[in-house]
Structure 1
Amino acid sequence: MPTADLRAGYTAARAAGATRHRDIAAQLGVSEAELLAAHIGEYAPGAPVQGLQVQRLRGPWPTLLGALEGAGPLMALTRNASCVHEKTGVYSGASASGPAGREMGLVLGPDIDLRVFYSRWAHGFAVAEDNGRGLQQSLQFFDAQGQAVHKVFVRPGTQWGVWAALVITHRCELQQPGLQVLPALAPAAETPDALIDTTAFREGWAGLRDTHDFFGLLRRHGVSRTQALRLADPAYAQRVEASAARDVLQTAAREALPLMVFVGNPGMIQIHTGAVKRVEVMGPWLNVLDPGFNLHLREDHIVQAWAVRKPTADGLVSALELFDAQGETIAMFFGERKPGRPELRAWRCLVDSLVDPLGAGAAAWAPQAGECAAC
Structure 2
Amino acid sequence: MESTPKNLKARWEELKQTQPHLRIRNAADSLKVSEAELLATRCGSDEVTRLLPAFKEILQEVESLGKVMALTRNNDVVHERKGVYANASLENPHVGLFVGEDIDLRIFFKSWDSAFAVTDTVRGKARYSLQFFAKDGEAIHKIYLTAKSNLDKYQALVTKYRHEDQSDLQAVHAWDETVEEHPDENIDVAAFQKGWINLEDTHDFFGLVRKHKLTRTQALRLAPAGNYAIKVNPQAFRKVVTLAAERNTPIMVFVGNKGMIQIHTGPVKKLLDHQDWFNIMDPDFNLHVKEPHLKDVWVVRKPTKDGVVTALECFDAQGNQIVQLFGKRKPGIPELTAWQEIIAEVEKETALQESVNA
What is aligned with 2:317? 325
Amino acid at match of 1:5: N
Q: 1:182-193 counterparts in 2 under 5 A? A: 182-185=173-176, 187-193=178-184
Give TM-score, length-normalised by structure 1: 0.91
Amino acid at match of 1:247: K
- Is the aligned partner of 1:40 residue 2:18? no
Flag the 1:243–1:365 CA change in 2: closer, same or farther, 3 A.
farther
- Is the aligned partner of 1:270 residue 2:262? yes
Flag the 1:358–1:283 CA change in 2: closer, same or farther, 3 A.
closer
- Contact 1:56 / 1:124 at 8 angstroms: preserved in 2? yes
Q: The residue matched to 1:153 in structure 2 has which SS? A: strand
Amino acid at match of 1:136: R
- Is the aligned partner of 1:150 residue 2:153? no
Amino acid at match of 2:204: D
Q: 1:297-312 counterparts in 2 under 5 A? A: 297-312=289-304
1:356 shift after superposition: 3.8
1:357 shift after superposition: 7.5
- Contact 2:299 / 2:313 at 8 angstroms: preserved in 1? yes
Pick which of 34-43 and 87-96 moved more. Answer: 34-43
Q: The residue matched to 1:97 in structure 2 has which SS? A: coil
What is aligned with 1:371? none
Deviations 1:14-71 (A, max 9, x none): 332233110111111111010001111133xxxxxxxxx2111113211111100011
Flag the 1:352–1:85 CA change in 2: closer, same or farther, 3 A.
same
What is aligned with 1:95? 89
What is aligned with 1:66? 60
Amino acid at match of 1:129: D
1:351 shift after superposition: 1.1
Instruction: Tell me which of 116, 119, 124 is aligned to 2:107.
Output: 116
1:12 shift after superposition: 2.4
- Contact 1:236 / 1:365 at 8 angstroms: preserved in 2? no
Q: How many Å separate the matches in 2 of 1:359 and 1:22?
A: 35
What is aligned with 1:253? 245
What is aligned with 2:306? 314
What is aligned with 1:349? 341
What is aligned with 1:77? 71
Task: Give the share of equivalent positions with the same residue, in percent.
Answer: 45
Amino acid at match of 1:331: V
Flag the 1:342–1:179 CA change in 2: closer, same or farther, 3 A.
same
- Contact 1:75 / 1:88 at 8 angstroms: preserved in 2? yes
Q: How many Å separate the matches in 1 of 2:22 and 2:100?
A: 31
- Contact 1:18 / 1:24 at 8 angstroms: preserved in 2? no
Q: The residue matched to 1:91 in structure 2 has which SS? A: coil
What is aligned with 1:15? 17
Q: The residue matched to 1:204 in structure 2 has which SS? A: helix
Q: How many Å separate the matches in 2 of 1:200 and 1:186?
A: 25
Amino acid at match of 1:31: S
Amino acid at match of 2:75: A
Amino acid at match of 2:272: E
Alignment length, in residue pairs?
354
Deviations 1:188-227 (A, max 9, x none): 3111111111110000001111111111101111111100
Flag the 1:184–1:121 CA change in 2: closer, same or farther, 3 A.
closer
Instruction: Tell me which of 195, 199, 202 is aligned to 1:204.
Output: 195
- Contact 1:54 / 1:127 at 8 angstroms: preserved in 2? yes
Flag the 1:189–1:215 CA change in 2: closer, same or farther, 3 A.
same
- Contact 1:83 / 1:298 at 8 angstroms: preserved in 2? yes
What is aligned with 1:286? 278
Flag the 1:29–1:167 CA change in 2: closer, same or farther, 3 A.
same
Q: The residue matched to 2:195 in structure 1 has which SS? A: helix
1:269 shift after superposition: 0.2
Q: Which runs of 5+ in 1 are unaligned?
A: 44-52, 367-375
1:362 shift after superposition: 5.3
What is aligned with 1:194? 185
Q: Which structure has the highest strand share of the two?
A: 2
Flag the 1:115–1:363 CA change in 2: closer, same or farther, 3 A.
closer
1:359 shift after superposition: 5.9
Q: How many Å separate the matches in 1 of 2:126 and 2:305?
A: 49
Q: 1:174-185 counterparts in 2 under 5 A? A: 174-185=165-176
1:127 shift after superposition: 0.7
1:355 shift after superposition: 2.3
Amino acid at match of 2:32: G
Q: 1:351-370 counterparts in 2 under 5 A? A: 351-356=343-348
Q: Cα RMSD between the aligned structures? A: 1.9
- Contact 2:96 / 2:108 at 8 angstroms: preserved in 1? yes
Deviations 1:116-138 (A, max 9, x none): 01111101111111244421111
- Contact 2:25 / 2:35 at 8 angstroms: preserved in 1? yes
